[in-house]
Each structure stands twice: as structure tokens, then as C-alpha cells.
Amino acid sequence: MATVLDISNLRFSWPGSAGPPVLSGVSLRLEAGEHVLLRGGSGSGKSTLLSVIAGLLSPQGGSVEVGGQNIFALPQGRRDAFRGTHIGMIFQTFQLLSGFSAAENVMAALMFTDVPPAEHRQRADRLLRELGIERPDADVGTLSVGQQQRVAVARAVACRPVLVLADEPTASLDPANAAAAVEVIRAACRGSGATLLVTSHDPALEGRFDRQIGIDRGQIITGEPAAAISAKGVTHGTL
């Protein structure tokens, strides 16, 4: 299998902070097609880690390679362009474009890719239809929370990224819908061939991923079963 995400000795601290680093020597590798759950409690560093992987925050040390490209070897403009074509993101609050339709939100993700503009609407409609959105022209503000999440998922996979990052994607959903929402995300990533990294503190998601790892005090917990991760207190709270 090809390695899609390769993190080595990553270190990050907030500028001016006198406290311990948020991420301390993090190393992690994800292979092509893997679906991995990253568990961690409040202040564990899991959301910061996703932001660094996406190139939204710059670390003080270490490297992040996505699809073989060290993203921090790229100047900021090229890094942003690389993110737009190689990394899909699903945020806890979805961050959809208010006042725009479901289709327009998905098409926005295609604006800076090499996908021909004439194909943008067709791809957006197909993805939305596959995810159960029957009204692609509906303003996203009129959609239910679950439907808004499906629009966010469609947007994340629209450019056929090699990696999808989902930060607490079930935090806005009730427990009955959380598991179903994760399966929607996983199915979309399988359909596009993307590797998936999901952060969550939801214990209901245990066992639904190929692999589960933990993060605690900025360090990855590896080689331990889910029960051991839970015992360390990293299954409660949100960052």
C-alpha cells in the first residue's frame, strides 16, 4: 500500500505560550484507503493536529507529507492550492457558505482545481444525489443539520482528494444519527478512494474504523486497545 499521510516528529506550540507544547514529537502514518479514528479529550491536541496536517497552522518542527509531498516545503500560496486539490475537510460546524445553495457550496470546492468548469455542476449534483440530497438548489440554511453535514461531506470529496480530515463530525448530531453520519462519510471516502482521519470523543464510534489511535497531552498513544485508550481519559470532552 502507498503511504498517504506521513507525519514525523511534529512539534507545535502556540506563539508566545509559556506552557507545554500542544503537539510534542507526533509521528503517524496512514496508508491508502485506511479509515482511522483519532480519539482525544479536551486539550489533547487532536484538532490542532488536523489543522497542522491541513497546512492551516505551521509547526515549529517535524514534517507532514501528504501523498509524498512535504506540505511545509511549499510556499503559502502553493500550499493552499495543494490543500484544495489533495485534502478534503469536514468541520464540526460544517462552515458552509451562507446564502448559497447546496450545489454552489460543493462547486466552490472545485473552483481552484483542474476540473473543467463545465463539469462542476454535474459533479456537484451527482455527489449530492448519492448522499441523499434531492434539492441541490436549496439554500443550505433551509436544510436540516443532517442534510447540511451531507453537503459538507460532498464538498470534502468533490476534488477527489487523497486525504479527508473530519474534525468531530458528529458533535452536532444526536447519538441516534451519529453512527449513521459516520457511515455516510466513510462511504463517500470509499467512493472517492480517499484515506480518512476522523477525530472524535464519541465512544459510540469505537469499532467502526479500520484502526483507532489516541492522542493525549500532544502525544500519540499507539499499540493499545480501545479500552486502554479509554482508561487514559481521552474519550471524553472535545477540543
* Predicted confidence (pLDDT) per residue in 70-115, tens digit: 999 999 999 999 999 999 999 988 999 999 999 999 999 999 888 9
CA–CA gap between residue 28 and residue 8 (Å, rounded): 7
What average pLDDT does the segment 203-228 reach? 77
- Neighbouring residues of 226: CB distance < 8 A, sequence distance ≥ 6: 206, 207, 212
Question: What is the maximum alpha-carbon separation in the chain?
Answer: 52
- At residue 41, the pLDDT reads 84
Q: Which tens digits make up the pLDDT trace of 169-196?
A: 988 777 778 888 899 999 999 999 999 9
Contact 146, 181 (CB under 8 A): yes
* Domains in the chain, CATH or no CATH each: 34-59+83-231 (3.40.50.300)
CB under 8 Å to 216, separation ≥6 — which residues? 40, 41, 44, 232, 233, 234
Residue 19's pLDDT band, with cuts at 50, 70 and 90, is confident
Condensed to tens digits (0 to 9), the pLDDT of residues 45-64 reads 999 999 999 999 999 999 99
Mean pLDDT value of segment 131-160 = 95
Band (222; pLDDT cuts 50, 70, 90): low
Question: What is the overall mean pLDDT for the chain?
Answer: 89
User: Which neighbouring-strand residues pair with 36?
Assistant: 197, 211
Do residues 160 and 193 touch, judged by C-beta distance below 8 A? yes
Alpha-carbon gap, residue 102 to 119, rounded angstroms: 16
Show the DSSP H helices in 58-108 as ranges. Answer: 76-86, 102-108
Distance between CA 19 and CA 31 in Å, rounded? 33
